Amino acid sequence: MPAEIPADSVGLVTPQTVTFSAPLELECGRALPGYTLSYETYGTLNAQRNNAILLCHALSGDHHAAGYHSMDDRKPGWWEHLLGPGKAMDTERFFFVCANFIGSCKGSTGPASINPETGTPWGLDFPMVTVRDWVKTQAELADHLGIAQWAAVVGGSLGGMQVMQWTMDYPERLRHAVVIAAASKLTAQNIAFNEVCRQAIMTDPDFHGGRYYAHDTKPRRGLSLARMIGHITYLSDNAMRTKFGRDTRGGKAFSFGFDVDFEVESYLRYQGSSFVEHFDANSYLYITKALDYFDPANAFGGNLAEAFASTQAAFLVISFSSDWRFSPERSREIVQALYTCNRDVSYAEIEAEHGHDSFLMPIPQYVAVLRAYLGRVAEEVGA
């Protein structure tokens, strides 16, 4: 826990929830009979209500983007380095909103929620959700908050996909789009990684066809393995070499067995076991499927420029040199498509050794780019 809350932190924050009772028509053809969103806000909405920025989280993220829920918290929200008073995402100038998307397990309606028709958890009866569905719920949240137009929508990784969907589905409702470490669709390799992770979960004997809640258990081994596989893809080879090398655990000699010998093995096992304690396995399945399905150009014969043709926002696209999960090439495809349809777009490729996780790090060049761009947005809206 923090000895004291840093002066540049948003401090103690309280999650909020809102429940929408009207059925939510989903892209898969089914509907949710109402749903709940958990969200947090940071900063103050001005009198003109034009300084609001929506933050979109990634696969294992949630609505807790910054600050602390209590003085007992071990660590702050996931974008603490960037979000707060005087930071690149300045809460003294903007009002930030971050919502946990449906299908997740951090307070918003998902597979672990109660199905009102059965009185038991949805499990795999929960309808399939997509990035477009998430954006639709975020638009309803904006209506609830009285925000007609976002000054910007910002997101990294899967969050960046939500940003792109916002520009296409609600072009008049955002002025700026900040797409960080994202792609307009997953490569076959990325889909393959997701499928291996899903199979690790679904073949765990404790999965019980997704109804493990009724058995008072969870597929710990499968979800832990899925997290370990995923985590490897978030880091670059250089980052792993620098952090672990071939160091043995505690400097000890080889065990000549199958216990943990190397520090990197210990790290991955820790990541897997800790993830199991705070994330739902079914949610992992649904979210990775939403990742796989995202491909806005598909409706336009694969032409991404046509998919962006109706957008009105100005764009900032950021990639990281060592990110092989969502490589700079994927970001340049987005930029080229935006150029083709004459959109206002800025692009920065940041030199970084952290791999895909770079978008969560306080890398000086990255921070400077975000600060400069959002400073421009603040001047534009008078924040």
- The residues near 14 (Cβ < 8 Å, ≥ 6 apart) are 40, 69
**Active-site residue, 323 included:** yes
CB 324 within 8 A of CB 355: yes
From the candidates 63, 81, 354, 356, give the one annotated as an active-site residue. 356
Q: Which two tokens stand for residue 142?
A: 């904006």
From the candidates 38, 104, 108, 157, give the one annotated as an active-site residue. 157
**Active-site residue, 69 included:** no
Computed from CA positions of residues 340, 346, 350, 356, in that sequence, does the dihedral angle turn out positive or negative? Answer: negative
From the candidates 62, 133, 280, 323, give the one annotated as an active-site residue. 323
Q: How many CB atoms lie within 10 A of CB 45?
A: 17
Q: Which DSSP string corresponds to 267-326?
A: HHHHHHHHHHTTS-HHHHHHHHHHHHH--GGGGGTT-HHHHHTT--SEEEEEEETT-SSS
| Alpha carbon separation from 338 to 7, 42, 66, 314, 344 (Å, rounded) | 39, 31, 31, 10, 8
Residue 242 DSSP class: H
**Active-site residue, 215 included:** no
* Residues that are catalytic: 157, 323, 356
